[in-house]
């Protein structure tokens, strides 16, 4: 039944998002073609199609999970940062989320008499704004979605958007009564307690970023401690599921990249090296062995063309020489918004940094790993456990690095946007700059210099279009969408890609 409804909603979602700009009639969703009970699942479907499609793909390169395969070129610009605002890598998602999903959600919030429906819509709206801020930094919020009444909304500071949606969730929760949801709910099947748990997890995520951004840090530290001590979070994972390996019913990233394109993704060196160094059984989940050597091989970040040059012959660096991404895992893969694994790693951080409870931090860290293994149907073993054991007598930095790297692994093929955001916020895994000679040595089959590089560290891309002054910059944000520039005269000039968003102080 859920898959039948999903197909119907996919059609409705496409009807409500195609060819719209964000200044269309704000009452559009409430019309004769789309009934009220379908508005919420249509919005949920639109969110999944963009977060699980274009955004998932972009962030997979930025988090150094993906590299462009040697024999294809669709995404050459992403790992090397060789794109500009004119490349327009986010307009599709920006327009679909704002002109489609957010308008639908606002319509429910403004017009529904059901407090549970309004609450669920408010929580999902908060999530979408969080994702947009984490990509762009500033974002239209206070004047957004007003249609013809304001076709040029101002762009608000990211921290103000965060504060605004947090206040919206608080207000909607206060208005909750004993109502059950009237709308079809493709995420939690109408379970309001799960929506409350998701809201609390979003609070935790956003509070930690507010702390990192230096915004009312003492106040938000108190809030994260209270959240963790109360432990009123969701069970399982927060995701959009119900995909089927049939036409128009597949995972959106899979539909585009496995069905519509000819295999552009291979594994990045940092991911492969860390999985090998820790004897991680998850290496076989989502990655395939290089067929030329029957071994796991990662491509250096931004290293496709330079590796070919170093090899001296393009035939010595082909698809068969590098580990591919196993697309079959993605056909029916849910679109994840908040995994139980990420939640437990955030809880571990709070216990470690703010509650000074090393024992509980370790317990949450272990729960984070367990949750990810369980979600993939993979079993832990003693060898792996020994490689990632909690360093009881270690420093705060050692423990945060371990949490950060295991969180990064757990978010692979789950929630790439959060992986990219979390590595920017925490600086774990860390970026390392290697010289051309050191990169060439790795490309020839040698090891990374042990005095500079630890397995799992990220690497500043070998080919890097952010060459001013010395080519050692990394991506911190996305350019503003061209559709925003076209339709909103208040759209600011885009900062450079290495300009951090407001909460990224590392």
CA distance 57 to 62: 9
Our separate counts of H helices and E strands in the chain read 20, 8
- Report yes or no: 369 and 339 within 8 Å, Cβ to Cβ: no
Residue 37 has pLDDT above 90, yes or no: no
What is the model's pLDDT at position 242? 87
- Phi-psi region for residue 409, left (φ > 0), alpha (ψ -120 to 50) or beta? alpha
What is the model's pLDDT at position 12? 41
What is the model's pLDDT at position 71? 94
Banded model confidence at residue 465, pLDDT cuts 50, 70, 90: confident
Which stretches does DSSP call E strand in 376-506? 431-432, 458-459
The SS3 of residue 268 is strand
Q: Where are the domains of the chain?
A: 2-247+332-431+474-487
The SS3 of residue 458 is strand
Banded model confidence at residue 20, pLDDT cuts 50, 70, 90: very low
- Report yes or no: 95 and 20 within 8 Å, Cβ to Cβ: yes
What is the model's pLDDT at position 264? 94
CA distance 331 to 244: 7
Residue 8 has pLDDT above 60, yes or no: no
Give the model confidence (pLDDT) of 272-285 as tens digits.
999 999 999 999 99
What is the model's pLDDT at position 104? 95
Give the model confidence (pLDDT) of 170-200 as tens digits.
999 999 998 899 999 999 999 999 999 999 9
What is the model's pLDDT at position 34? 57
Banded model confidence at residue 13, pLDDT cuts 50, 70, 90: very low
Task: Dig out the tokens for 296 from the structure.
Answer: 């796991």
The radius of gyration of the chain's CA atoms, rounded to the nearest angstrom, is: 22
Instruction: Describe the crossing of helices 192-212 and 340-353 by its angle, rounded to 10 degrees.
Output: 50
Average pLDDT over residues 196-214: 99
Banded model confidence at residue 260, pLDDT cuts 50, 70, 90: confident
Average pLDDT over residues 95-111: 94
Contacts of 473 (CB under 8 A, 6+ apart): 81, 460, 464, 466, 497, 498
Average pLDDT over residues 307-316: 88
Percent of residues, the chain, with pLDDT higher than 70: 92
CA distance 409 to 384: 13
**Of the listed ranges 12-26, 310-324, 337-351, 355-369, the one predicted with least confidence:** 12-26
Banded model confidence at residue 7, pLDDT cuts 50, 70, 90: very low
Give the model confidence (pLDDT) of 144-179 as tens digits.
998 888 889 999 999 999 999 999 999 999 999 988
What is the model's pLDDT at position 25? 40
Residue 6 has pLDDT above 70, yes or no: no
Query: Tokens 């774990």 label which residue?
Result: 428
What's the first-to-final CA gap in the chain, in angstroms?
A: 47
CA distance 429 to 422: 9
What is the model's pLDDT at position 313? 81
* pTM across the whole model: 0.93
Query: Tokens 């968003």 label which residue?
Result: 501
Nearest partner of 51 among 188, 232, 197, 238, judged by Cα: 238
Q: What are the angstrom distances between the C-alpha of 267 and each of 108, 287, 299?
A: 42, 7, 6
Cα 139 → chain centroid: 18
Angle CA 320–334–165, to nearest 5? 125
Query: Environment class of residue 356 by beta-carbon count within 10 Å: exposed (0-12), middle (13-18) or buried (19+)?
Result: exposed
Q: For domain 2-247+332-431+474-487, is the CATH number 2.30.110.10?
A: no
Banded model confidence at residue 471, pLDDT cuts 50, 70, 90: low
Q: Could you give the count of Cα atoms lying within 13 Å of 44 in the half-sphere of its Cβ? A: 31
Q: What is the DSSP string of 119-182?
A: HHHHHHHHHHHHHHHHHHSSEE-TTTT-GGG-SSPPEEPHHHHHHHHHHHHHHHHHT--SPPP-
Q: What is the mean pLDDT of the chain?
A: 91
What is the model's pLDDT at position 38? 80
Percent of residues, the chain, with pLDDT higher than 90: 84
What is the model's pLDDT at position 467? 62
Query: Tokens 């915004």 label which residue?
Result: 215
What is the model's pLDDT at position 15? 35
Banded model confidence at residue 466, pLDDT cuts 50, 70, 90: confident
């Amino acid at each position: 039944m859920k898959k039948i409804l999903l197909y119907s909603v996919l059609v409705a979602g496409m009807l409500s998002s195609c060819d719209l700009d964000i200044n269309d009639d704000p009452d559009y969703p409430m019309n004769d073609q789309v009934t009220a009970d379908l508005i919420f699942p249509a919005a949920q479907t639109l969110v999944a199609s963009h977060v699980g499609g274009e955004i998932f793909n972009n962030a997979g390169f930025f988090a150094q999970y993906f590299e462009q395969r040697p024999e294809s070129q669709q995404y050459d610009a992403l790992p090397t940062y060789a794109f500009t605002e004119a490349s327009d890598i986010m307009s599709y998602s920006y327009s679909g989320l704002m002109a489609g999903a957010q308008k639908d959600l606002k319509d429910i919030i403004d017009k529904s008499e059901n407090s549970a429906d309004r609450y669920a819509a408010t929580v999902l709206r908060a999530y979408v704004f969080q994702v947009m801020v984490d990509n762009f930094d500033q974002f239209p919020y206070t004047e957004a979605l007003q249609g013809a009444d304001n076709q040029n909304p101002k762009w608000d500071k990211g921290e103000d958007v965060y504060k605004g949606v947090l206040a919206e969730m608080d207000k909607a929760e206060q208005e909750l009564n004993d109502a059950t949801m009237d709308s079809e709910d493709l995420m939690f099947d109408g379970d309001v307690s799960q929506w409350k748990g998701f809201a609390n997890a979003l609070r935790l995520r956003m509070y930690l970023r507010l702390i990192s951004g230096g915004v009312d840090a003492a106040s938000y530290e108190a809030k994260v401690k209270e959240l963790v001590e109360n432990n009123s979070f969701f069970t399982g994972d927060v995701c959009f599921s119900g995909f089927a390996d049939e036409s128009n019913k597949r995972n959106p990233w899979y539909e585009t990249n496995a069905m519509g394109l000819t295999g552009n993704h291979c594994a990045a060196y940092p991911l492969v090296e860390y999985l090998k160094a820790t004897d991680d059984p998850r290496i076989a989940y989502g990655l395939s062995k290089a067929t030329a050597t029957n071994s796991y091989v990662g491509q250096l970040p931004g290293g496709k063309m330079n590796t070919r040059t170093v090899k001296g012959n393009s035939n010595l660096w082909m698809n068969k020489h590098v580990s591919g991404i196993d697309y079959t895992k993605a056909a029916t893969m849910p679109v994840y918004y908040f995994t139980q694994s990420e939640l437990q790693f955030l809880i571990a951080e709070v216990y470690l940094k703010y509650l000074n409870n090393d024992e509980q931090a370790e317990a949450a860290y272990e729960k984070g790993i367990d949750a990810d293994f369980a979600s993939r149907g993979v079993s832990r073993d003693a060898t792996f456990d020994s490689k990632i054991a909690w360093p009881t007598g270690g420093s705060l930095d050692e423990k945060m690095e371990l949490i950060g790297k295991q969180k990064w692994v757990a978010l692979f093929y789950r929630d790439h946007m959060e992986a990219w955001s979390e590595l920017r916020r925490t600086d774990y895994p860390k970026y390392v700059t290697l010289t051309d000679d050191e990169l060439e040595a790795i490309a020839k089959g040698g090891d990374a210099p042990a005095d500079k590089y630890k397995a799992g560290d990220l690497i500043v891309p070998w080919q890097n279009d952010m060459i001013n002054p010395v080519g050692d910059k990394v991506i911190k944000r996305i350019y503003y969408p061209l559709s925003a520039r076209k339709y909103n005269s208040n759209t600011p000039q885009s900062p450079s890609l290495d300009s951090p968003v407001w909460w990224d102080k590392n």
